Structures are given as structure tokens and as C-alpha cells.
Amino acid sequence: MKTHSIDTYGVNVGVYECDAGEGQPTHVHPSDDHTHTVIRGRSRVVIGEETKEFVPEDGVVVLPMGVPHSLTAVEDGTVWINVIQSGGTRKTPIYGAAVTLPAQPPPQTWAGVQLDCGQVVESS
């Protein structure tokens, strides 16, 4: 797994290039929201008790603070970008606009949301 990251002004941006089976083991960000965007390939995200796979067409997936999750590449050459914003702010600037994320759902349910063209859509 190759990683590159920058941490500035309370925002950490990490780019991960992984082969199948590589990734990040289960962990929690107790006070930070975390976004996951697949650029190439396919990733498997386990959040709470549920597992979902994501591809580039799925857009940005938000993993709310306090929810255990893991990330694994399904295909060789998978690339994703993770962004972690310290403090778990619920307003995130995106291209000059503010997107308000919903309140944190209970950890027993799939807690991801997708941001698609500025719209907030709850994952099923």
C-alpha cells in the first residue's frame, strides 16, 4: 500500500493506492468526520455491522465520527482519497458552498451518506 498525506488547518487529506486485500483495519475517529472517495477500482467499507462496496461513480461517502469502520481494496490498483476534518464539524465548505450533513445516526445502522452535486442523499 502506498500512502501520501497532508495535514493542515485541521484537515487531513490522504491518498491511498492499494492492491486487493490492503487497506485500513477497523478504527474509530471519535471526534472527526471522515470522507472516502474511490478514484480508481473498488473498495469495501465495513461500518458497524454492515459492509458495502464503492466505485468512483458512487461519489463521496461520509463516515460519521464515532462509528467503527474499515476500508479494504477489492481490486489491485485501487486508489482512494480520505479526508478527515478535525472537530467533526457539520458544515463543510465544498467549492465555496456549505453542505450541512445530517446528525449522526445510531451506530447500529449504515451511517454513510453520499454527496452528489451538492445534494445530501441517505444511503440505503
**Would strands 23-27 and 33-40 be described as parallel, antiparallel, or unpaired?**
unpaired
Residues in the chain: 124
pLDDT for the residue 41: 96
Look at residue 87 in the predicted model and tell me its pLDDT: 62
> Which percentage of the chain shows pLDDT scores above 70?
69
- Give the domains, in start order, of the chain with CATH numbers: 2-119 (2.60.120.10)
Between 39 and 89, where is the model more confident? 39
- What is the residue-averaged pLDDT of the chain? 74
pLDDT in the model for residue 61: 86
Considering the entire predicted model, what is its pTM? 0.67
Tell which wins on pLDDT, 69 or 118. 69
pLDDT tens column, 85-111: 776 544 444 433 333 444 444 343 333
All residues at 6 or more sequence positions from 57 whose CB lies less than 8 Å from its CB, including other chains: none
